[in-house]
């Protein structure tokens, strides 16, 4: 993926990633779903040049199949979708 | 007077009959004692109302019925056991005392209690099943701990600045190796896709850089919002080819390029 003129690698080809402004700071950062394990990882900042960043927030949603974004009051919220189409909102605790 | 029996024979007959009946009652009461497990109830009398609310009225009623039946059965068991022992020892006084302590009304009450306490669990369960299932809040531990089951949380890695890659392949660069039939050519030209260009993804390509390069073909350097707009159109136009993750495209995929106007 690309941000601010730099390229970043995240996860594997089976992972699902989306970009959103999770912390309402005006910067879109990635979130990842690994469907095999249900792991949802959320990143609030991009790594420094040549560096790597670990997720600030991780959670397991065993039945998760996809990610979605909804915008509330100018901030993005990550929604985890299950096979029935129901969505759970992942809250970011600062 | 021919039916008259000596007094000792009558006492012996009563003792044997009493011992048999009391022994049977003692055995039945003992069997009930062992067969009926007592439900867990409140540990203190003061907790009765709390326990009642926790388990619900149907289950609490059943539990109290069972406890009452067990209490009566215990009492009947010990009294009958003593009476049976007295009757076996030909102690008419002990046997009569046992019979007086266990009159027919008490035995019937015990029978009714036992029948009710055995039958009511089914009724209680039936009553409970008509209630809507209440949501249960289950503590599964801290989210961070469960997330650690994925031994290797993915890291976000910087790969360096974006380098524009040359467009490796275009539809207009293709020359048919053999002439197409006229009908096929007509169909091809009428198809909307005939007017759109395609892009075969090369190693290192990503949708953003492709969008930038396509827009830059016009001469002016595109703004970030223009690139983002085109990136979304590019993504929408190639949903099936891209899959769920537009940030991960594989070399060899053929992308349809939307018009830049």
pLDDT score at B168: 34
pLDDT score at B206: 84
For B186, the token pair is: 């007509």
* A10 and B154 Cβ atoms separated by less than 8 Å: yes
- The nearest alpha carbon in chain B to A18 belongs to B245
pLDDT tens-place values along chain B, 261 residues long: 444 445 545 455 556 666 677 677 767 766 766 666 555 566 566 666 666 666 667 777 777 777 777 777 777 777 777 777 777 777 777 777 777 777 677 777 766 766 666 655 544 444 444 333 322 222 333 434 344 445 566 778 777 666 544 333 333 333 333 443 443 333 333 333 444 578 888 877 888 888 888 888 767 788 888 888 888 888 888 887 887 777 778 778 888 888 876
pLDDT score at B77: 76
pLDDT score at B47: 65
Give the pLDDT confidence of A43-84 residue by residue, as tens digits: 888 888 878 888 888 888 888 899 999 888 888 999 999 888
Q: Which of B245, B252, B253 to mutate to test the interface with A (most CBs of A within 10 A)?
A: B245
A91 contacts chain B (CB < 8 A) = no
Distance CA B163, CA B205 (A): 9
Instruction: Kindly determine whether residue B157 and residue A8, on different chains, have CB atoms separated by under 8 Å.
Output: yes
> Cβ neighbours of residue B157 under 8 Å, at least 6 residues apart?
A8, A9, A10, A47, A51, A52
For B112, the token pair is: 């009714």
pLDDT score at B117: 60
Instruction: Kindly determine whether residue B245 and residue A37, on different chains, have CB atoms separated by under 8 Å.
Output: no
- The nearest alpha carbon in chain A to B154 belongs to A11
Longest dimension (CA), chain A: 40
pLDDT score at B18: 66
In chain A, residues with a C-beta closer than 8 Å to the C-beta of B154 are 10-12, 15, 32, 34, 41, 55
Task: Provide the phi-psi class of A73: left if phi over 0, else alpha when psi is between -120 and 50, else beta.
Answer: left
Report the predicted TM-score, pTM, of the whole model to 2 decimal places.
0.34
In chain A, residues with a C-beta closer than 8 Å to the C-beta of B150 are 34, 37, 39, 58, 60
* A76 and A21 Cβ atoms separated by less than 8 Å: yes
Instruction: Kindly determine whether residue B162 and residue A15, on different chains, have CB atoms separated by under 8 Å.
Output: no
* B143 and A59 Cβ atoms separated by less than 8 Å: yes
List A10's β-bridge partners, or say none: B156
Q: What b/e string do you get for B3-20 counting C-beta neighbours within 10 Å, with b at 16 or more?
A: eeeeeeeeeeebbeebbe
Does the pLDDT of residue A25 top 50, yes or no? yes
Distance CA B64, CA B41 (A): 9
Window 3-42 of A: residues touching B by CB (8 A cutoff) are: 5-13, 15-17, 19, 30, 32, 34, 37, 39, 41
Torsion sign (Cα): B150, B156, B157, B162: positive
Distance CA A92, CA B178 (A): 59
pLDDT score at B204: 79
pLDDT score at A11: 82
pLDDT score at A67: 92
């Amino acid at each position: 993926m690309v941000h601010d003129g730099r390229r970043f690698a995240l996860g594997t080809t089976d992972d699902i990633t989306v970009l959103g402004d999770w912390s309402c700071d005006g910067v879109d950062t990635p979130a990842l779903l690994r469907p095999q394990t249900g792991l949802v990882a959320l990143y609030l900042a991009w790594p420094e040049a040549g560096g790597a960043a670990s997720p600030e927030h991780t959670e397991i949603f065993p039945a998760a199949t996809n990610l979605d974004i909804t915008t509330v009051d100018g901030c993005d919220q990550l929604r985890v979708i299950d096979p029935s189409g129901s969505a759970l909102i992942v809250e970011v605790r600062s | 007077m021919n039916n008259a029996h000596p007094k000792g024979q009558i006492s012996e007959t009563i003792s044997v009959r009493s011992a048999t009946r009391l022994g049977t009652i003692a055995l039945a009461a003992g069997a009930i004692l062992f067969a009926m497990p007592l439900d867990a109830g409140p540990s203190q009398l003061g907790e009765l109302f709390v326990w009642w609310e926790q388990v619900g009225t149907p289950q609490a009623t059943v539990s109290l019925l069972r406890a009452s039946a067990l209490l009566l059965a215990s009492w009947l068991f010990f009294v009958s056991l003593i009476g049976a022992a007295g009757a076996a020892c030909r102690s008419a006084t002990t046997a009569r005392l046992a019979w007086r302590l266990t009159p027919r009304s008490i035995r019937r009450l015990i029978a009714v209690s036992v029948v009710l306490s055995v039958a009511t669990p089914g009724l209680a369960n039936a009553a409970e099943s008509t209630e809507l299932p209440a949501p249960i809040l289950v503590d599964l531990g801290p989210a961070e701990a469960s997330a650690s089951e994925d031994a290797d949380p993915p890291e976000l890695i910087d790969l360096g600045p974006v380098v524009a890659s040359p467009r490796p392949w275009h539809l207009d660069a293709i020359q048919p190796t053999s002439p197409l039939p006229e009908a096929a050519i007509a169909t091809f030209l009428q198809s909307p896709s005939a007017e759109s260009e395609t892009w075969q993804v090369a190693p290192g390509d990503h949708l953003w850089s492709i969008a930038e390069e396509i827009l830059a073909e016009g001469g002016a350097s595109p703004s970030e919002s223009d690139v983002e707009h085109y990136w979304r159109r590019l993504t929408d136009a190639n949903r099936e080819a891209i899959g769920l993750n537009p940030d991960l495209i594989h070399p060899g995929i053929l992308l349809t390029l939307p018009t830049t106007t």
